[in-house]
């Protein structure tokens, strides 16, 4: 989820505050279970103490273990990166060469920072076989939730916007397109499937592998996604064009932010109230009832909070009326 043009605090904060208040004062009182104190009550207590950090969108600077609603760290990261984007935009639009160099240097520094911190602290950006909880929390606090470590892929998006706005429409031959797609498919998928060997029983943590994956996977994934967007925009997006232009995606874009906010409270509720042990089955990867509940609550949140506050903003700042 990225803060794009037209998405401001009138959309971000009301829904965020609503979910925080519900998880802090309402959710703890509507259920119980063996894990309820750990996954629901614990988060409620954290929010009572630290929700002010979320409302100021600075909660990602205080460590993962003391964060109210940990999944909302991305809101803070995006806002902080969004606030510095005008610097890059100004340089790219007015002093192109300086802007490109500046963007490249910052992206490189962010990449080096991810590698070094991962290596020096034995972190892992992959939930691999046998990973201790302490390493997961440490990775989140020292790298994953910090904008300095997430800047690379964000700046790829800034560069893409510049290319789409000002570059000439490049004509590629069929051979050139085949070559580009054949290179970018494995590169992009490597960011997703590269760590699959880490799920194998008996995997031993490798510090170099972890550091390389932390440094390179955002570049590989971001480059692949940027190419798909560019290709679809320019008319040679292969099967991605019809897929991404599917008209019903418009509906999901309306509730996507609410889905992002709602999903983990629903997960916490279901985990907290579970009173039995299930045997793992492949179909358990998609919980139909749970997914349906998330979508339903997201629609309710969008209709009752997000859209009304956006309408209030339009009324207050309507020009010429």
Whole-prediction pTM: 0.87
pLDDT tens digits for the chain (321 residues)? Answer: 444 434 577 789 999 999 999 999 999 999 899 999 999 999 999 999 999 999 999 999 999 999 999 999 999 999 999 999 999 999 998 899 999 999 999 999 999 999 999 999 999 999 888 899 999 999 999 999 999 999 999 999 999 999 998 877 778 888 988 999 999 999 999 998 889 888 888 899 999 999 999 999 999 999 999 999 999 988 888 888 888 888 888 888 899 999 999 999 999 999 999 888 777 666 666 788 889 999 999 999 999 999 898 888 888 777 555
Q: What are phi and psi of 119, to 5 degrees?
A: -65, -50
The residues near 77 (Cβ < 8 Å, ≥ 6 apart) are 60, 145, 146, 147, 150
Alpha-carbon gap, residue 73 to 145, rounded angstroms: 6
DSSP assignment string, 233-269: HHT--TTHHHHHT-TTHHHHHHHHHHHHHHHHHHHHH
Alpha-carbon gap, residue 244 to 157, rounded angstroms: 17
DSSP assignment string, 25-90: IIGGGS---TTHIIIIIHHHHHHHHHHHHHHTT-GGGS-STT-SSGGGHHHHHHHHHHHHHHHHHH
Tell me the HSE value of 247 on the side-chain side, using a 13 A CA sphere.
0
Q: Which of 157, 23, 159 is nearest to 78 (CA)?
A: 157
Q: DSSP letter at 280?
A: P
């Amino acid at each position: 989820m990225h803060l794009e043009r037209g998405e401001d605090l009138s959309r971000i904060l009301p829904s965020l505050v609503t979910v925080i208040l519900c998880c802090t004062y309402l959710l703890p009182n509507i259920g119980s279970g063996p894990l309820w104190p750990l996954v629901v009550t614990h988060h409620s207590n954290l929010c009572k103490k630290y929700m002010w950090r979320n409302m100021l969108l600075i909660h990602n600077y205080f460590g993962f273990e003391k964060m109210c609603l940990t999944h909302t760290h991305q809101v803070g990261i995006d806002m902080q990166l969004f606030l510095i984007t005008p610097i890059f935009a100004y340089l790219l639009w007015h002093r192109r060469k300086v802007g490109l160099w500046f963007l490249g240097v910052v992206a490189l520094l962010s990449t080096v920072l991810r590698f070094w911190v991962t290596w020096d602290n034995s972190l892992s950006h992959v939930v691999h076989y046998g990973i201790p909880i302490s390493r997961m929390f440490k990775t989140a606090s020292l790298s994953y939730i910090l904008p300095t470590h997430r800047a690379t892929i964000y700046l790829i998006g800034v560069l893409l916007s510049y290319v789409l706005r000002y570059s000439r429409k490049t004509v590629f031959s069929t051979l050139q397109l085949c070559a580009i797609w054949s290179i970018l498919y494995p590169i992009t998928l490597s960011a997703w499937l590269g760590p699959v060997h880490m799920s194998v029983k008996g995997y031993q943590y490798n510090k170099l592998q972890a550091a390389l994956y932390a440094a390179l996977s955002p570049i590989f994934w971001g480059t692949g996604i940027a190419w798909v967007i560019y290709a679809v925009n320019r008319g040679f997006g292969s099967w991605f064009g019809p897929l991404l232009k599917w008209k019903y995606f418009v509906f999901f874009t309306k509730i996507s932010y609410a889905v992002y906010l709602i999903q983990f409270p629903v997960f916490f509720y279901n985990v907290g109230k579970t009173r039995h042990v299930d045997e793992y089955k492949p179909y358990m990867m998609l919980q139909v009832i749970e997914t349906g509940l998330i979508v339903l609550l997201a629609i309710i949140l969008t209709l009752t909070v997000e859209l009304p506050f956006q309408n209030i903003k339009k009324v207050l700042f309507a020009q010429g009326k």
